[in-house]
Structure 1
Amino acid sequence: MTTPTLVPRKRRGAELTLTLLAICIGVAAYCAVGLGSEGRIPAGAVKLAGCLVVAAIATHLFVRKVAPYADPVLLPLVICLNGLGLAMIYRIDLGCEDLCLGGNYAPLANSQLIWSALGIVAFAVVLLVVRDHRRLQAYTYTFGFLALALLVLPLLPVIGQNIRGARIWINLGPFSFQPGEAAKICLAIFFAGYLVVKRDALALAGRRFAGIDLPRGRDLGPIGVGWLISIGILVFQRDLGSSLLFFGLFVVMLYIATERPGWLVVGGGLFVVGAYFGYLAFGHVRVRFDAWLDPFADPDRNGQIINGLFGMAYGGILGTGWGQGSPQLTPFSFSDFIAAAMG
């Protein structure tokens, strides 16, 4: 008696159904913004719907041909998020046009469509070049060094740019972008490749303390390196969000690979220690923490936080609806705004 061979389902039909639903969500959100802010469906709704349909269906057909056993949920999720992002950018465009003097404001929604198209092309190239993801394991440390190089780029004196206190941008001619976004992908590949090799040692070896399985001291090297990298980002680039994201990515992937809560305890403790040291030693970190704890102490400096608090309070739990909020900046100081709001 022969054992029947298990053939996995392709699920391309499910992907197509979810893709069409994602398109409907994006177009409906775009129309809702126009109806809520201007009382009419935007003139570009047909253009947006056409672009989304062509891009989504073309990408789906490409995946059906090149990667028939891919996860059927990922592509619809990306299309849905992209459609919602376009609707939000369009709402910001409408608010900025109201405040712009002289009509010099350039809408950002059209630029976002171009970037979406470039993303689809890059996605297709990756699928064509990397036909088997296991081949990336041979380049584990290459991706690790590439990630470090990308993180260092904003610190270079010529191309690195300091914008609003954070040094995370670089300028190359007419283009500017954050190399840390590409570094996230490289770090994820590096972490995955490293954990495939070291998973057993990290998962099985260690000591039990206070009911928690903690890793061995010599196995703490990778998490120590991740901790130092995150602290370096915190100090030199002044970017709290990226620091937490990079370090959290490593700790969470360690936990997923080993299923040992001890990694979460050690990683969380290291980050708390590093953040506390940063608060005591560096003024820009202390300013961020103080703004988070009491944004009303300096209304003009912490206007973005206060604007968000008032916006969330005004919208309530469910919000006011697409296009009915007020995303544009107030034309007066936030100290006057608070004084007027509090009567």
Structure 2
Amino acid sequence: MSALRPEENAPTRVAEAILLVVALALGMGGMWMVGYSIQDGLPEGFWTYSIVLAALAFTAHIVLRLRAPYADQVILPAVILLNSVSMAMILRQDLDPAGIDGANASRHLMWTALGIIVACVALFAIKDHRSLRRLTYTAMIVGIVLVILPLVPGLGREINGAQIWIFIGPFSAQPAEFAKIAFAVFFAGYLVANRDTLALAGKKFLGLQLPRLRDLGPILIVWAVSLAVLVGEKDLGTSLLFFGLFVGMLYLATDRVGWIVIGLTMFAGGAVLAWSIFSHVQLRVNIWLDALNPDLMNGPSYQLVQGLFAMSYGGMFGAGWGEGYPEYIPFAFSDFIYASLGEELGLTGLLAILLIYLVIVQRGLRHAIGVRDGFGKLLAGGLAFVMALQLFVVVGGITRVIPLTGLTLPFMAQGGSSLLANWIVIALMLRISDAARRPSALPTRGALADPVPAAANGDAIAVGGAGPVQAETEAGAGRGATPDDATQIVRGVDR
């Protein structure tokens, strides 16, 4: 394949710019309608919010085109659209005459700006995603430290029944949001080096290939320690997220359906054990099963019930911007922003939001298939999967498909830690997409010929149903495969 000239990539840049304009127009239109619905005029700060959002979006666009010119052109506009719509919803609650305590559009914009800046810095700092593989065990230590921090006396603090926050002076953070990124890097690095032994070594039991304990030991210890700490902090939502990441990446690495069966079995056993031991888990389950119970409606299930009433009031097409009653939903700007959006945008609006998330996840998985190295495949697949799982857990809890967990909707809920962490996830996705879409005749900016020594057991990864050798051969053949790719082709095991 011949190298593409820079001007041949111009259609991609133009398409992304057009999508950014559409995303910003929808968000600004929401803010405009909020103002005219509540104040009969443009809301205070409309032009400031609009100009800052536009400046941030196009700055990210320019940085992306300079540092990762072949990156996906859809992911950034999709995330900007989610941020813009959430900006309109939080501004609507900010302007509500009833006064919604905690809603603050300026604070949300500030954290969005910091998130975009951090993502741009990550794109500059990480020239080749494969360099992260050197940090495999460093990421493991960082992840464990992050989940333990809220338990440190004087640093952690319990809020709303969960001890998941740390406070340093006037600043607060939720470390587990960043721990999911560290664990994704660790799992990807460890699994790509031990993929064959996990998939092929060990004994069979009831038709399932069980790995040897010494091969699974390191990630099993990390998983168990993290879950034990998070359960102690009463952060069951993040516990579920980490467990799903653990099982999902094991499946991606080994292509063994048995891991899904083992994972579901372990989850069922853990859920029953947690329900029998912890009173707060029992309460969550009771709220889920019997939310309309009069004994619960005016207390523990009040938030859930008000969210359900709000979405039912919205109906198919919603009450319209500024015409709902989010003041009746506790934390309508953060934990339950999905319910407040459903009241004003209706089922149609909620489905549109879910489709935007689906596009982001689909693009992430697509680039996991397209990237040429095993570590990138696992990292991109893991990050996309954890975002999809978080979306399911949040929306499922609000709609009573599953019990509430306390997680927040990525990019939409007001919250600094969530916005910063998820923008870092997007930066990593974009960096990997650049490597996946870049013609191999063009070297990655600052690429390493062989970023880490090839694992003794091979790096081949089966993603999308192709056997390990087949997947890597197709990726490397005729594309000027790197030495790292050649090592993977030779050492892969075709099952």
TM-score (norm 1): 0.85
Secondary structure, aligned partner of 1:161:
strand
CA RMSD, 1 decimal? 2.5
1:265 equivalent to 2:267? Answer no
Aligned partner of residue 162 in structure 1, secondary structure: strand
Aligned to 2:150: 154
Q: Which residue of 2 aligns with 1:122?
A: 118
Please list, as runs of the form range in 1=range in 2, the aligned pairs for 1:1-343 lying within 5 A after superposition: 4-5=1-2, 7=4, 10=9, 11-95=12-96, 97-99=97-99, 108-205=104-201, 213-218=208-213, 219-221=215-217, 224-225=220-221, 227-229=223-225, 231-295=227-291, 296=293, 297-299=295-297, 300-329=299-328
Q: Give the Å deviation of 1:117.
A: 1.7
Call closer, same or farther: CA 1:280–1:230 in 2, change over 3 Å. farther
The whole-number CA distance in structure 1 between the counterparts of 2:41 and 2:151 is: 47
CA distance in 1, matches of 2:271, 2:67: 45
Three-state SS of the structure 2 residue aligned to 1:78 is helix
After TM superposition, give the deviation of residue 112 of structure 1 in Å.
Answer: 1.4
Deviation at 1:285? 1.5
1:227–1:271 Cα contact (<8 Å) kept: no
- The residue type paired with residue 210 of structure 2 is P
- Counterparts of 1:230 and 1:324, CA distance in 2: 43
Corresponding position of 1:336: none
- Give 1:233 shift: 4.0
| 1:323, distance to aligned residue in structure 2 (A) | 2.3
The amino acid that maps onto 1:264 is I
Q: Is the 8 A contact 1:230 1:247 kept in 2?
A: no
Q: Distance in 1 between matches of 2:230 and 2:129?
A: 32
Partner residue, 1:335: none
Secondary structure at the aligned position of 2:167 is classed as strand
**Helix, strand or coil at the partner of 2:158:** strand
Instruction: Work out the CA distance in 2 between the residues paired with 1:13 and 1:192.
Output: 34
Tell me how far 1:157 sits from its aligned partner: 1.3
- Counterpart CA distance in 1 for 2:199 and 2:2 is 32
Q: Which structure carries more relative contact order (alpha carbon 8 Å, separation 6+)?
A: 2
| Contact kept? 1:230, 1:244, Cα under 8 Å | no
- Residue pair 2:31, 2:91 contacting (<8 A) in 1 also: yes
Q: Are the structure 2 counterparts of residues 155 and 199 from structure 1 closer, same or farther at C-alpha, using a change threshold of 3 Å?
A: same
Task: Quote how far apart the aligned CAs of 1:320 are.
Answer: 2.3
Q: For 1:60, what is the secondary structure of its paired residue?
A: helix
In 2, Cα distance between equivalents of 1:189 and 1:126: 15
**In 2 relative to 1, CA 225–14 (structure 1 residues): closer, same or farther, beyond 3 Å?**
farther
Q: Distance in 1 between matches of 2:267 and 2:230?
A: 11
Q: Which whole-Å CA distance do the structure 1 matches of 2:229 and 2:62 have between them?
A: 41
State the Cα deviation string for residues 23-61 of structure 1 (Å, max 9, x = none). 122212222333444444424332222112211111111
Paired with 1:85 and 1:159, the residues of 2 have a C-alpha distance of 30
Q: Mean alpha-carbon deviation: is it higher for 45-54 or for 81-90?
A: 45-54
Q: Distance in 2 between matches of 1:223 and 1:37?
A: 53
Structure-2 separation of matches of 1:207 and 1:213:
8
CA 1:37 to 1:230, structure 2 compared with 1: closer, same or farther past 3 Å? farther
User: Does structure 1 conserve the Cα–Cα contact (< 8 Å) formed by 2:200 and 2:211?
Assistant: no
- Matched residues, percent identical? 44
Structure 1 residues 48-103: Cα deviation after superposition (integer angstroms, max 9, x where no partner) = 221122111111111111111222222112211211121121122233x5247xxx
In structure 1, stretches of 5+ residues that fail to align are 332-343
The one-letter code of the counterpart of 1:58 is: T
5+ residue gaps, structure 2:
331-495
Worse-superposed segment, 273-282 or 212-221: 212-221
Count, aligned residues: 322
Cα separation, 1, equivalents of 2:217 and 2:162: 28
What CA distance in whole angstroms lies between the structure 2 residues aligned with 1:270 and 1:124?
A: 39
The answer to whether the Cα contact below 8 Å between 2:148 and 2:229 also exists between their aligned partners in 1 is no
TM-score after normalising by structure 2: 0.60
Distance 2:253 2:21 in 1: 34
After superposition, the Cα gap between the structure-2 partners of 1:330 and 1:56, relative to the gap in structure 1 and judged at 3 Å, is closer
